[in-house]
Structure 1
């Protein structure tokens, strides 16, 4: 079932639920991946609202509604894949496989029966696109004792590891994660480590949506207009998750608005909303910097990717907190920071179809490396 030399598509939507990112990628045998076309498909407003409510347990959901949401997410992802194929004028026959991460609605690696739940009807994507689809990546790792996240460090190693310079890749989506690449990582898989550091954009996006009715704090301007509330920041930084050793991963089931309101309510004098936003921005920067300081070798270069790249105020705070380390974009190393994760899931799909492992036990805590996910073949009428 080798995927052969064909093109691959990665589909990704993170915890912010702002778009289904589709990346059409070529993986040369002797060079870095080539990003041929991209497309960001925004979700229908009603679908985004339903997904955010479900992920934050705002209201219960019936089995009928749950099944319907799975199909709606699948249709949304299929639209994204078809759009990127049209942009590149590529037929289904030229695509060896699509890697669909799906939309995470619950991630419970510490439950008595650990699981990670993503919506996105892979069979529907295969039927609509005419392409083979690999999906449900995380549970393959969790079935053998892993956290199921983060899964991108193996890809980061393949693209960004260097024998002369230690590097850390910081991906800031709704949740932020690190991949630590010491110089030994270029030849030793076990040298790679990684973890979810805590909130990236998720809390900032949720807070600005409540108070300003926007999906995000554009360039961090609202956060920049406030001041950090020291008691609130201390309360946030005292969360037990931040002190837990790796391997570890997290999501909206922990860091959500209910959690934030509980931290605010515990204070003697709750801060103004704008100061909460400033504090959340600082919290993301401090929790990332704390993880870098704890896990990094000390002289590494930090490569930044994900939606947080577009938040100028967050970047400013990260530069301050990470000094004297260099902070650069993954674009400096050949890969647009907005598309790293989508390309990673195209790469993971190729690995799975070729029978190669995609997880790193040194990152997730799994007992051994395995190919990730389930393969859904396209159903094409003869």
Structure 2
């Protein structure tokens, strides 16, 4: 039995999630403890500026990386203290880093190679924590021709595959991504892909109109607005929503200027309601796309995780669009909705140390299975 820590900071930029898992080959990974450290407002602004910058100075990049790494180290220290575990008991930390830009097909219309950039300093993290670190998980899949995302579907398969039933896993972070899990009795491939924005536009629009608050708790503001069908139609014209998988996206594609270019003077609350409807509609489109792709007529359940799993309004909208599928949370499996992504990178670190592949070519379109991540000794 070995213990691993997974660190995740998603596109919502709300903080660092740390998950401690127990890993034994051939057994289900078990969540032992979890802890979240909120993102300081100045670091959040700095990271957001980097995500939106046309040019970046090395000094600004180094400062952000330094501060982010120290925040990660604080999350690890707090987690181990909470679990009453010595750092000597940790086999490795799996660090995702903070995505600054994700361009698996290159940068828009500009010529150049595909790339994905996660701000991270695993060498410094190893120094600060005294633990071995595994990091840089995405670029090996990219080098093999893949999208480098999503990577969590392999972990979803380890946790949630059913002997006989088809299941869907939905992660609602800044962006929404789906995993379609065939039954264990099936030879069908696992597929997974991003469906589009989940919280990223909802949070940005809410912050513009509610200073000092970062998100629309339980979707209360959105629930008071009315969906503008004209605005929703304009938003849905984006080609990403109609592209077939494999596909992944990020802030470089969906951001406030993208939204503002499609506004026609709508009421602010109605815009929020329309953005929530956009998330629900595009997820439902993704469900239909995934089921059609695998010729699936019946899915047992859709298991929702991520911060958006707490957005009551968004889940109610989604339920109206997929009434034939039961919507559940992963708590019944021992994994609260907030800790699946951090747990995934702890599990991926374990896979790396076992020299086992971490990607799924059927998800990312890489040319084959690849061992992901670099190892940084304590």
Instruction: Using structure 1 for the length normalisation, give the TM-score.
Output: 0.94
1:66 aligns with 2:65: no
Distance 2:277 2:18 in 1: 31
Q: Is the 8 A contact 1:235 1:263 kept in 2?
A: yes
Q: Is the 8 A contact 1:305 1:340 kept in 2?
A: yes
Distance 2:347 2:152 in 1: 9
What is the CA RMSD across the aligned residues, in angstroms?
1.3
Choose 41-50 or 22-31, whichever is displaced more: 22-31
Q: Is the 8 A contact 2:101 2:116 kept in 1?
A: yes
Shift of 1:218: 0.6
Q: 1:220-235 alignment to 2 at 5 Å?
A: 220-235=219-234
Distance 1:32 1:328 in 2: 20
Distance 1:273 1:322 in 2: 27
Q: Which runs of 4+ in 1 moved over 6 A?
A: none
1:292 aligns with 2:292: no
Matched with 2:202 is 204
Q: Aligned match of 1:46 in 42, 46, 66? A: 42
Matched with 1:191 is 189
Shift of 1:353: 1.2
Distance 2:366 2:158 in 1: 20
Matched with 1:375 is 375
Q: Aligned match of 2:5 in 5, 9, 28? A: 9
Q: Aligned match of 2:81 in 78, 82, 86? A: 86
Distance 1:143 1:72 in 2: 29
Shift of 1:240: 0.3
Runs (5+) with no aligned partner, structure 2:
107-111
Matched with 2:260 is 261
Q: Is the 8 A contact 2:7 2:96 kept in 1?
A: yes
Shift of 1:29: 4.0
Q: Secondary structure at the match of 1:324?
A: coil
Distance 2:332 2:78 in 1: 27
Q: 1:135-146 alignment to 2 at 5 Å?
A: 135-146=135-146
Q: Is the 8 A contact 1:141 1:148 kept in 2?
A: yes
The count of residues paired between Structure 1 and Structure 2 equals: 367
1:330 aligns with 2:346: no
- Write out per-residue CA displacement over residues 301-325 of structure 1, whole angstroms, 9 at most, x where no aligned residue: 1111111111110011111111111
Shift of 1:6: 2.0
Q: Is the 8 A contact 1:77 1:120 kept in 2?
A: no
- Write out per-residue CA displacement over residues 328-348 of structure 1, whole angstroms, 9 at most, x where no aligned residue: 111123311110000010000
Shift of 1:52: 1.1
1:106 aligns with 2:106: no
Q: Is the 8 A contact 1:357 1:369 kept in 2?
A: yes
Q: Is the 8 A contact 1:72 1:120 kept in 2?
A: no
Distance 1:351 1:197 in 2: 27
Distance 1:241 1:18 in 2: 25
Shift of 1:359: 0.2
Q: Is the 8 A contact 1:289 1:322 kept in 2?
A: yes
Q: Secondary structure at the match of 1:107?
A: strand
Matched with 2:310 is 310
Distance 2:173 2:240 in 1: 18
Shift of 1:187: 6.4
Instruction: Using structure 2 for the length normalisation, give the TM-score.
Output: 0.95
Q: Is the 8 A contact 2:244 2:289 kept in 1?
A: no
Matched with 1:148 is 148
Shift in alpha-carbon separation, 1:187–1:132, aligned structure 2, 3 A: farther
Distance 2:52 2:203 in 1: 14
Shift of 1:163: 2.1
1:215 aligns with 2:210: no
Matched with 1:116 is 116
Shift of 1:73: 1.0
Matched with 2:109 is none
Q: Is the 8 A contact 1:357 1:372 kept in 2?
A: yes
